[in-house]
Amino acid sequence: MTKRNYHLLEFFYIVVGSFLTACGIALFSSPARIASGGVSGIAIILYHTLHLDTGLSIFILSVPLFLLGLAIFGKQYGVKSLLGTILLSLFTSLINFTVGYEGLLDYSKEMSILLSAISGGVLMGLGVGLVLRSGANTGGTDILAQILARFTPLSMGSSLFLVDVIIIASSAFVFSLEMALYATITVYIMGVTIDRVVLSFGTRSAKTVFIISEKREAIEQAILDQLGHGGTILNGQGMYTGFDRPVIMTVVANNRLGELTNIVHRTDGHAFMVVQEAYKVLGEGFTPIEEAVWAGLSDVTQKRKKPN
């Protein structure tokens, strides 16, 4: 695949992914009053309380967060992520104006709310997963979570969970506890679907990636500059040639794997990558080692308390 075709594929993922996400929001989550976290969850609450268009609210909330991410993280919040934010807002508004704000189901029937929780979760998971595969994102509270992960001891996963919990808890006060519980169903389905789309199979928290390339230095610099990640250079030797072949080893969160793959592909289309499950990652940027140690001590204590 040429570089031009690869960029077209990335653009295709962003457009289709943003549209599917917008369908999940406008056709199912918003009409059912399911505020399933993220900026879209806030936009749904604003629509049902202040009657603001959900697409417009997503845009108004996302752009300042995008600019904040750009100021803190730099280049990684580039044109593609801004495009994802704009398209999500635009598609959501277009669907609202075309189909209406009532959605596709009859919400006088209780089963319709459950169907919306499931359908919305699947559609938004597919959409966000495709956008992430392009190396972009749809902005929003993901940026807040990344800021929390950078400046607090919280991991990225814990930060995302905290932000979503706050929004879902708010929806319980605005709508009802039952609707907040439906929102947790949507969040869970969305997360599982994103994993399937981004990584083909369900995964744990991160991936260990080994990269062999003739353009190793350029890839190293791109990982440092664009991903904000470090790595380790391992000594290697080609079996056939006998030449020294240094290997880059780095660990990335699941939602950054697509971005890393794009970096490697753009830098060296003939590079060799091996991606492995990282079932537990301890240290900076992931779960703090101290937290894991205390968890381990807690497990030991609990086992000692149990009678044989």
Each residue of 228-249: pLDDT tens digit?
778 888 888 877 777 888 899 9
CATH 3.30.70.120 domain locations along the chain: 206-278
pTM over 0.75: no
C-alpha distances in angstroms, 34 versus 29, 101, 169, 171? 5, 13, 12, 8
- pLDDT tens per residue, range 74-129: 665 566 778 888 999 999 999 999 999 999 999 888 899 999 999 999 999 899 88
Question: pLDDT at position 112, please?
Answer: 94
Question: pLDDT at position 306, please?
Answer: 44
Question: pLDDT at position 8, please?
Answer: 83
Question: pLDDT at position 203, please?
Answer: 41
Question: pLDDT at position 24, please?
Answer: 95
What tokens appear for 32 in the block? 């059912």
> Taking a C-beta distance cutoff of 8 angstroms, is the pair 118, 193 a contact?
no
What tokens appear for 79 in the block? 């044109």
Q: Please determine, for residue 303, whether its predicted confidence score (pLDDT) is greater than 70.
A: no
Q: Please determine, for residue 252, whether its predicted confidence score (pLDDT) is greater than 80.
A: yes
What tokens appear for 209 in the block? 């990636």
The whole-angstrom separation of Cα 125 and Cα 251 is: 23
- More confidently predicted of 290 and 102: 102
Instruction: For residue 173, count CB atoms less than 10 angstroms from its CB and return exposed for 0-12, middle for 13-18, buried for 19 or more.
Output: exposed
Tell me what the mean pLDDT of segment 197-202 comes to.
56
What tokens appear for 163 in the block? 């932000």
High-pLDDT (> 90) share of the chain, %: 32
Reading across the β-sheet that carries 206-212, which strands appear in turn?
Answer: 232-234, 247-253, 206-212, 272-278
> Taking a C-beta distance cutoff of 8 angstroms, is the pair 9, 131 a contact?
no
Which among 220-224, 274-278, 284-288, 297-301 has the top mean pLDDT?
220-224
Question: pLDDT at position 300, please?
Answer: 39
Q: Please determine, for residue 55, whether its predicted confidence score (pLDDT) is greater than 60.
A: yes
Conformation bin of residue 270: beta by default, left when phi > 0, alpha when psi is -120 to 50: alpha
Mean pLDDT of all residues in the chain?
81
Tell me what the mean pLDDT of segment 169-194 comes to.
91
Which among 160-169, 198-207, 282-291 has the top mean pLDDT?
160-169
User: Is 3.30.70.120 the CATH classification of the domain at 206-278?
Assistant: yes
Question: pLDDT at position 58, please?
Answer: 92
The whole-angstrom separation of Cα 113 and Cα 284 is: 41
- pLDDT tens per residue, range 59-68: 999 888 888 7
Tell me what the mean pLDDT of segment 277-290 comes to.
63
C-alpha distances in angstroms, 238 versus 195, 212, 235, 244, 245? 34, 10, 10, 6, 6
The whole-angstrom separation of Cα 183 and Cα 35 is: 6
Question: pLDDT at position 118, please?
Answer: 95
The whole-angstrom separation of Cα 221 and Cα 203 is: 27
